[in-house]
Structure 1
Amino acid sequence: MYKQKPKNLVNLTKGEMANWLNSFDTVLTDCDGVLWHEGVAIDGVPAAISLLKTLGKEVYFVTNNGIKTRHDIWKTAMGAGFDVPETRIIAPISGIVEYLQARDFRKKVYIIGAEAVRSELTAVGIESFGPGPDVLAGKLSDYIAQHVNDTEAHEVGAVVVGFDEHFSFAKMLKACHYLGTNPDCLFMSTNFDHVHRYPAFSVPGTRALLVALETCVGRSALQFGKPNAEICAELIKSGRVVPARTLMIGDVCKVDILFGHNCGLQTLLVGTGFNSVYELNEILQNPSENERYIPDFFVPSLGDITKLV
């Protein structure tokens, strides 16, 4: 039987709240919209994370942020008042780098994405290029003659796509050439986030850019962010995460909550994301078709749990 709606933690009795807290040993939590907004901690949330740790919970931060290195995310967390080891941050750029290292990767990487991707690759000795503006000026034939050649294509062993405010036809042309010329060229993406919604506007996400490229090359990219359960596979295999005793906290039903269900975790949606409550209400209009997006629990803000214990 599918869930009709999540249980609101605010409505639980003290006893029910204690039982809920005792039902998990490990916490995976999203960052933006759950812990902070633009690097500024959401009221009461650092205290809530501290409470969970005091209760013996192991806490990991799991983000889809593809424009910052893991170290930069860690600095944001520390600056916002969250005491978390850098090794407890699971981020897509680091996942891509570790994937390439495990395969003794020795070619170049073409990046449609942020400078942070190049920075992490450079740190482990992998050559890459691509971040920044690349605009086709003049005739297409002239650009192809100048920038598209088979020699360069065979030097490229991977194409990585992330959020790129400088996304352009020229970049897509190059990526299509590298992927189309070399069938062994790896095709990877930081995440599948479709859109980033804010109160006054929306910004196209990585997935919006990626679909165009996938359509051109007839291949699907490996993705290193939520809701892909593979990013949690090593934690589960090592025993550090036991799915039935783990809670996933997020602010996006179709990313964070789906990720939790994909991994077999309990799920908690917070209402502090810019679009959290609206998205949840939309999903609950047709719960039978949206079951995997429906969280087990809801709380207006993670900071509220300190008042409910």
Structure 2
Amino acid sequence: MSSKQIQHILELTLQERKDFVDSFDCVICDCDGVLWTVFEPIAGIADALATLRAHGKTIRYITNNSVRSFESYVTQFQSLGVTLEPSDLIHPAVSVVRYLKSTNFEGLIYCIATETFKSILREAGFELLDGPSDPLEESFKKIIATVHDRSPVRAVIVDVDFNLNYPKLLRAELYLKNDPNCLLIAGATDKLLHAKRDFDLIGPGYFSEVLEHATGKKAIVLGKPGVPLVEQVLEAYAIAKPQRVLFVGDMLGQDIAFGSCCGFQKLLVLSGGTTREEMMQQTDPAWVPDYYADSLADFVQLFQ
């Protein structure tokens, strides 16, 4: 589909609305920018989710944000009238655990991520190294002595780390270079983290990219839009007919591209990190949604 042909769901004719609603059984939603911002829920989302469920749609969730604990997600969803089960939500730490178990991975892991992310790996039985986190004396000798380590690390994992520093990247690079079989695994690869309108943060995608360039290794990406994640999502949500799934996201490079990889229908909402102008200027077919809406709340009016 050309970006010039993307239709707003509230501009569809009555018959087009009926055909659209009848074309999917399951809705898979991104979270940040679709259900809420960093600071507050997006207006009308609780009613939209209730409306979709009332019309027989199954709703599941996937996010690149593993900074939140599952308990935090449960509380956030409760505010939207949703009782969240562990099987309803996929995020990078969960995807990494599934991948490692599916490959019968054994060995030491060096992890650049939040404490929440690392705790999920440890609870799954994996042994982790991390750090150094404390500030170091500004001396090459001190840094080299700190990062030089011969531990038999079999995988380096990179996700969001609010305390990322130069020594951590250096240590990750050394582990990857010391062992040609050491895996480079990335969770979220977002290069932009949307916080609120006109306020974005540098994302972890740049840091995994640094390690790719420095070591010549290609990261195994287990956040959106990673191809290894596709099979996990189809299996976890028992999806036999991807074309009957509507994927809702707010980012072109992560959400819409991932929906394309999965063979889903794709809806972009403008409540997060993408403007209508950016959407209309997109030329990569994999990044072009099938439909768009101002927010998920438009479904309330659509069904009326």
Q: Same fold (TM over 0.5)?
A: yes
| Offset, 1:9 | 0.9
**Within 5 A, what are the aligned runs for 1:21-170?**
21-38=21-38, 40-130=40-130, 133-150=133-150, 152=151, 154=152, 156-170=153-167
- State which drifts further: 102-111 or 239-248: 102-111
| Offset, 1:66 | 3.1
Change (3 A) 1:121 1:4: same
Any idea what SS the aligned residue of 1:40 has? coil
| Offset, 1:3 | 4.8
Offset from partner CA, 1:225-276 (integer Å, 9 cap, x none) = 1112432314435743411111110111222111111111111111111433
| Offset, 1:181 | 0.6
Name 2:226's counterpart in structure 1.
228
Offset from partner CA, 1:135-180 (integer Å, 9 cap, x none) = 4423222332344132x2x1x2211101122222101110011111
Change (3 A) 1:36 1:177: same
| Offset, 1:45 | 1.2
Name 1:260's counterpart in structure 2.
259
- Distance in 1, matches of 2:229 and 2:289, equals 20
| Offset, 1:217 | 0.9
1:301 to 292, 295, 303: 295
Q: Is the 8 A contact 1:112 1:171 kept in 2?
A: yes
- Counterpart of 2:73, as a letter, is I
Q: Is the 8 A contact 1:39 1:80 kept in 2?
A: no
Any idea what SS the aligned residue of 1:61 has? strand
* Number of equivalenced pairs: 301
- Counterpart of 2:286, as a letter, is R
- State which drifts further: 41-50 or 247-256: 41-50
TM-score by length of 2: 0.90
Change (3 A) 1:131 1:36: farther
| Offset, 1:90 | 1.0
Q: Is the 8 A contact 1:195 1:208 kept in 2?
A: no
- State which drifts further: 274-283 or 211-220: 274-283
Change (3 A) 1:131 1:72: farther
Any idea what SS the aligned residue of 1:227 has? coil
Change (3 A) 1:45 1:132: farther
Q: Is the 8 A contact 1:134 1:166 kept in 2?
A: no
Q: Which runs of 5+ in 1 are unaligned?
A: 284-288
Q: Is the 8 A contact 1:134 1:170 kept in 2?
A: no
Change (3 A) 1:52 1:274: same
- Establish whether residue 173 from structure 1 lines up as the match of residue 167 from structure 2: no
- Counterpart of 1:114, as a letter, is T
| Offset, 1:299 | 1.0
Name 1:286's counterpart in structure 2.
none
What's the RMSD between the two structures over aligned residues? 2.2
Change (3 A) 1:182 1:135: farther
TM-score by length of 1: 0.89
